[in-house]
Each structure stands twice: as structure tokens, then as C-alpha cells.
Structure 1
Amino acid sequence: MKILFNGCSITWGDELEDNRKSRFSKLVCDELDIDEKNLSMRGASNDYILRTTIDYCDKNTVDIAVIQFTVESRIEYFGDDAFPHQFAPANRVKCQNKNKWFYKLIYNEYHGYENLNKNLYFLDLYCKYKNIRLIPLWLDWSKKHQSFYWKSTINLIHLCKDIWNNPEYNQGLIKSHKEILCPNHHPNELGHRWVADKIISLINFDK
């Protein structure tokens, strides 16, 4: 069995004392006795997560893709150097004119919602085409997606309704679960264990 993990700093294991040993992807792979493949990056956007997931799956055999979608306001763009760069609201205070201009004059929450659902729908279709089982996770600690994403003005949301309704998405690490969060709200070791156990149960359920 070959499992691919991808996501942002949560899947990367930020704030853990030893992320290479304690993050949920490592815990899952240790229990299943398989090699870990984790493409996650701190500060990654959903664009990055989609692009790197597809790029890897095009070149490698993958049976299961465990993909954690991140904060929807992060955007990936290509610069004059032809390389992808990350936009994020947290960077707007720095001396990055493009970034400040984008979030001040163009971006609003509906851009983020549309982009997230576009990425989600595309990845769902791609995994079905490649016969890869997709286990998508929403691991943001600050919002519940049920109330956060269901807005009638979002054009793409109806395409993702069956995916969002899937119980596999209901993994929100909301702030009320302080016992499983680090000071900056990434999962602690207990939180990663909780996520790993959920993923393992989903994998075993489908055997």
C-alpha cells in the first residue's frame, strides 16, 4: 500500500518537538508498516497542495491520497521567473507590494471559497480517473466548514456538495479542543495521534 500525504504546516507537523517522528502521517505509516511520503509545506496554499499532489501522482504509484486542505485565503501565483509563489494575508505587512496590492484591492472571501472548491473538485475528479482513493481532510482549527462554506453565492459549491457532506471531512480541530492544540493552534502530539487514528479507521473500514 502506498499512501501520499499533503497539506500545510498542520500536516508538516509544525510546533512538534520532532515533527518527523510525531506527525500524523508518520504515525499512520508506522502502524501500517509502510514508507512515509509527505509533501506538505508550511504556509502552503490549496493551489500548491493540488499542484504538487497531481504532479507526484502522475509520476508515482499512489493507492491512497490523504490531502489536508488549508486556509482558503492563501493563493499561489507564477512570477516572471516562471516559478510558483505563495500569497498569504499574513505576509501583507511585509514589504511585498504585489501581496499587499492583491489583498487590498482584489481579494475577498468569495475568491477563497471559489478557489478552494475548484481545487477540491478537480482533485476529486483526478483521483477517480487515476483510481486513487482520496481521503480529504479539513484540519483548520478556527472554523467549522458546515457553516463556513455553505453560501448560495458560491458557484462551485454545488459541485462539491457530495464531497463536503462526506463524514471524512469532519475533522475540524476547532479552538475549543485546546487539549490537542499547541500554543499557535497547530495540533500537538495528542492531536496528531487523534488524526492518525481517524485516518487508520477510514483506511481499515474500506478493506
Structure 2
Amino acid sequence: MNWTETISQIINGTKDLDAGLRDIIIASVKRTQRSYNSQPINYWAPTFVKHDDDNTHYKDGRYPSNHCEIKKFKHNNETIEIRYDHNAYGFRSDEMLEKTDNDLVVVTTGDSITYGQGLNVEYRYSDLFCKKLQQNTKKVVKNYNIAMPGHSNDYISRSIYQGIHTFRPDVIIFLFTFRNRLEWVNETNQLQQIVPGFDDHTIFNLINEDWSMYNFFKNFVLIDTLCRLYNLKFCFGSLDPVIAEGMCQHTNYIGNIELDNLAYDNEHPGIEKHKEIANKTYNKYIELYDKET
């Protein structure tokens, strides 16, 4: 007997049951069927893949290939238009090309702040950092920003792991986001970012402050180990004051960033704050690696 026949038998067997109980059983069976039919997805595959040609959302939460959004914001009594252009990988970044011997590849990751929400790309701290770095090297600096809005520290560690194997970076910079965000795989094998205050999710009943930091340290240890294993230069900061307490003594840490909402969307950090982050990151980079550049 195949799975479809089994499902039909179970559903037919509920005809004489209370309607409410019958609905619960049918919903449970169909949920099990979806899980049975779903092929497992390895979201920790070593490399990022480009999207299919149909431009559908890839299941790991990236944007469709070559996706563009234009948003208008009222800011200081002016209407400001911001373009969000995404490359073939679904990132708001330059096109990612095969690395040459003359390239110095910088991979930057994080959440909406690193993504540059509410700003044009030239004002992001990643772009400002790369512009400064270009003045200090004879190589061609490649600026690969793989940040995603609303994403978690789980994503940051995963994106660094995949970014290392996909883009072969020389430098990695990132801002840790808030400790209570996390990645979750739902019943249809879709990867989701769970954000307190935006998502009402049962998993919040299982976690506490200590677990959030435990999860953060796992992410950090993975990143730190990868960077040292592959001899990568890296600098990082944080947005969460509790994370800052745990990281303040680390050699590569630029500090905790106090946020403003002066971007054109009136929700995210503005141009001056991104300049501050870029300067702190560059100064830390020069302090650690100037003789090696």
C-alpha cells in the first residue's frame, strides 16, 4: 500500500468522529504527509548556489536572482528614493566573480544594518571600509556584502562558512546582531529567521537568556575557528550590549555600536553612523594587519 492510499484510509476512518477531533487528525496527517514528501535540504552545504532562472525565492531566505526594489521614504520633509539591487546570488552586492591573484576579497555579513537598509550602497560601512582599504593596497578590492535584513547570528556564522568556500575571501568583517534571534526550519523545510517582537513562535517558550548566549558563543567559536583555520583577517563588532560584555577583551573586536535611526527610512542607522563603523573597523584592521596588507 502506498502513502496516498494510507492517507485516504486514515481520513475515511474519521468520518464518524466528532468534527473538531476529525479536523485535528486530518491536519496532523496532512502535516506528516508534507514532511514525508519534502526532500531534506542541507542549509549548511559548503557553498552558496545561484538562484534558478525562474527568480523564485530560494529556501534559505535570500532574495531572487537580480531582484530590484525601489522604495520611497519621507525624510526631513523630502521624498528619498532608495534602490535595492541584488546580484545573481540574491545579495545586495557587486557581482561575485571568480577570484584572481590580483583580487583582495572582502566579505561582509550581518543583518539589516550591514545590508544598508534605508541607505544607498555607497554609504554602507562595508563600502566605506573597502574604499579605505583600496587606498592601502595595490590589489583590486572586491566588496562582497552578503548581509540579509532581519537575520540572526546563526545566519552570520553560516554565511561566513559558506562565503569562505564560495568566494575565497581575504578579509571578513561583520556586526553580530541581537542574541535572541535565531534560524528555524519549519514543517515545509523552509528556513526562517525568528525575531522576538515580530514572530510569535512556540520556540520562545524553550529558550532563555543563558541559552541565547550559549547559542551566540557557538556561533562565535565557529567563526573564530574558521578564520584562524583559513588564515583570514577579520574584524567584528556587535549591536547587543550583553554580547559586548562577552567579547570586549577579544583582539579583533571593534566594540558595541550604539544605534540611531537617521537612515532615510527613519528606522536604521544613518550615514554618519556607518562612517563611524567603517572607521572603527578600518582602524582595527590597520592595528592588526597593516604590515601584512
> Shorter-chain TM-score: what band?
0.7 to 0.9
Shift of 1:46: 0.6
Amino acid at match of 2:255: Q
Matches within 5 A, 1:1-207: 1-16=104-119, 18=120, 20-33=121-134, 34-93=141-200, 99=201, 101-103=202-204, 105-140=205-240, 143=241, 145-147=243-245, 149=246, 164-166=248-250, 168-174=252-258, 182=263, 183-184=266-267, 186-205=268-287, 206-207=289-290
- Residue 282 of structure 2 aligns to a residue in which SS? helix
Across the two proteins, how many residue pairs are aligned to each other?
178
| 1:93-148: CA deviation from partner (whole Å, max 9, x where unpaired) | 5xxxxx1x221x212111211111110011101111111122121134xx36455x
User: TM-score scaled to structure 1, two decimals?
Assistant: 0.77
Distance of aligned partners of 1:131 and 1:83 in 2 relative to their CA distance in 1, 3 Å threshold:
farther
Distance of aligned partners of 1:146 and 1:173 in 2 relative to their CA distance in 1, 3 Å threshold:
closer
Greater strand share, structure number: 2
Shift of 1:30: 2.2
Looking at structure 2, the residues matched to 119 and 144 of structure 1 have their Cα atoms a distance apart, in angstroms, of 15
Greater helix share, structure number: 1
Shift of 1:80: 3.4
Distance of aligned partners of 1:189 and 1:144 in 2 relative to their CA distance in 1, 3 Å threshold:
farther
Looking at structure 2, the residues matched to 27 and 60 of structure 1 have their Cα atoms a distance apart, in angstroms, of 20
Looking at structure 2, the residues matched to 167 and 187 of structure 1 have their Cα atoms a distance apart, in angstroms, of 25
Looking at structure 1, the residues matched to 118 and 133 of structure 2 have their Cα atoms a distance apart, in angstroms, of 25
Shift of 1:15: 2.8
Instruction: Give me the identity figure in percent.
Output: 25
| 1:12-68: CA deviation from partner (whole Å, max 9, x where unpaired) | 11233x2x1110001112233322100001111111111111111012211111021
Looking at structure 2, the residues matched to 169 and 4 of structure 1 have their Cα atoms a distance apart, in angstroms, of 17
Please tell me whether the aligned partners of residues 254 and 284 of structure 2 are also in contact (alpha carbons under 8 angstroms). Answer: no
Distance of aligned partners of 1:88 and 1:62 in 2 relative to their CA distance in 1, 3 Å threshold:
same
Structure with larger Rg: 2
| 1:143-182: CA deviation from partner (whole Å, max 9, x where unpaired) | 36455x4xxxxxxxxxxxxx6412542422236xx5x855
- Residue 2 of structure 1 aligns to a residue in which SS? strand
Shift of 1:82: 3.0
Amino acid at match of 2:253: Y
Looking at structure 2, the residues matched to 61 and 77 of structure 1 have their Cα atoms a distance apart, in angstroms, of 27
Please tell me whether the aligned partners of residues 178 and 239 of structure 2 are also in contact (alpha carbons under 8 angstroms). Answer: no
Unmatched segments (≥5 aa) in structure 2: 1-103, 135-140
- Residue 27 of structure 1 aligns to a residue in which SS? helix
